[in-house]
Amino acid sequence: MASLPTAGADLRTRSGTDPGERLAVALDLPSAESALAMVDRLDGTCHWLKVGMELYYTAGGGLVRTLRERGFKIFLDLKLHDIPNTVAGAVRSVATTGASLLTIHASGGERMLQAAAEAATAPGAPRLLAVTVLTSMDGADLRGVGIADTPSDQAIRLARLAERAGISGMVCSPQEIATLRTELNPGTMLVVPGIRPAGAKGDDQRRIATPGAAIRDGASLLVVGRPITTAADPAAAATAILSEIASVL
């Protein structure tokens, strides 16, 4: 079993900021067994873990609770998108797992977002993050679904909508961080996927940035999966990213 996360303390900056609070490792893996094996290989380098749809649909809330018991904070990335009543019920259900963050699609509309925000006022409910435009999408993808705006313009529009509906956290690409920092309330949490260390493959991500650039622009939490989980030494890959974060804090 991996030790409780300690790497952030080792890399703590002069200001006392803990880089470990700014990185979530995406456990985009097919089973609880493979996820727990990866956690062991991370060797206590990370505070946050992301559990997405593939893993959650296989392992369920039990794995989230297991990871919480091992000392990790959990970002549950389910990207809920349904009628308001169904999404509100899902938010209440997730509250039983102890997850700290939960994603919903901003494109579900204001009434859905409001219903989710109301459900998230219950004790133990996670903080909601509204997904704006997926980092895998570019302008051509948006035009294919009838949206003429650029990905950045659409992301900003959806973030404003989510904020009006009572959502205080957003998921955006690195390209929207700086603008959203000026457009939204100062306390808004900006969670940013599409993070790739310099020289790493983009994979299916199209709107990307390095860890240091995203943090400088104002990202609250970076989400990194394959550059860490497919590395020969995941703990070393995570530590390198944490060191880059520390260098700009």
Q: How far apart are CA 27 and CA 36, in angstroms?
A: 9
DSSP run (H or E) holding 249: none
Q: Which of 215, 200, 220 is nearest to 248 (CA)?
A: 215
Q: Which two tokens stand for residue 178?
A: 């700086």
Q: How far apart are CA 215 and CA 210, in angstroms?
A: 9
Are 106 and 132 contacting, i.e. CB atoms less than 8 angstroms apart?
Answer: yes
Clarify whether 79 is annotated catalytic: yes
Report helix, strand or coil for 59: helix
Q: How far apart are CA 95 and CA 197, in angstroms?
A: 34
Are 39 and 67 contacting, i.e. CB atoms less than 8 angstroms apart?
Answer: yes
Exactly one of 50, 73, 79, 201 is catalytic; name it. 79
* Active site amino acids: 79
